[in-house]
Amino acid sequence: MISEKLQNAINEQITAEMWSANLYLAMSFYFEKEGFSGFAHWMKKQSQEEMEHAYAMADYVIKRGGTAKVDKIDVVPNGWGTPLEVFEHVYKHECHVSQLIDKLVDVAAAEKDKATQDFLWGFVREQVEEEATAQGIVDKLKKVGDAGIFFVDSQLGQR
């Protein structure tokens, strides 16, 4: 049985993951409007991945005898700048999500819930990859400049 404190903390993370999904979906719409279909595709995939995180967390809470909840999802920004600025925002956001997951692991440790700690370590490892991927895209966009932006757009469309 999952503790109420841990259940509530995971439910907050479910809401955060759904907000992230909406953020990336909004970025996808923006990129599509701006003519960057590859970036738009990458963001849609990222949005789907964030929803999968929410689903996995909800399933876990239920399997442990708890109640998964969907809370109010706040509005996400809809205006963005250059592709570089958007991906810099993605990187900062992924760093923020990593901090949220780390705090969730701390709650599981304080509750002495080793099963949940083990479950959450998968998300910790995935966040390391997501941060590295976002940073890699930022680095690539900085190197190619305006002239190579469509090349990077094409590459990300293959995700």
- Residue list for the binding site: 17, 50, 53, 94, 127
Q: Which of 19, 24, 21, 55 is nearest to 39 (CA)?
A: 24
Binding-site sequence positions for Fe cation: 17, 50, 53, 94, 127
Query: Residue 64: left (phi > 0), alpha (psi -120 to 50), or beta?
Result: alpha
Residue 98 DSSP symbol: H
Go through the chain and tell me how many residues it has: 159
CB atoms inside a 10 Å sphere around CB 23: 20
Calpha distance 44→60 (Å, rounded) = 25
Contact indicator for 15, 75 with CB cutoff of 8 Å: no
Q: Which residues are CB-contacts of 6 (< 8 A; sequence separation ≥ 6)? A: 107, 108, 111, 113, 116
Structure tokens that stand for 14 in this block: 């479910």
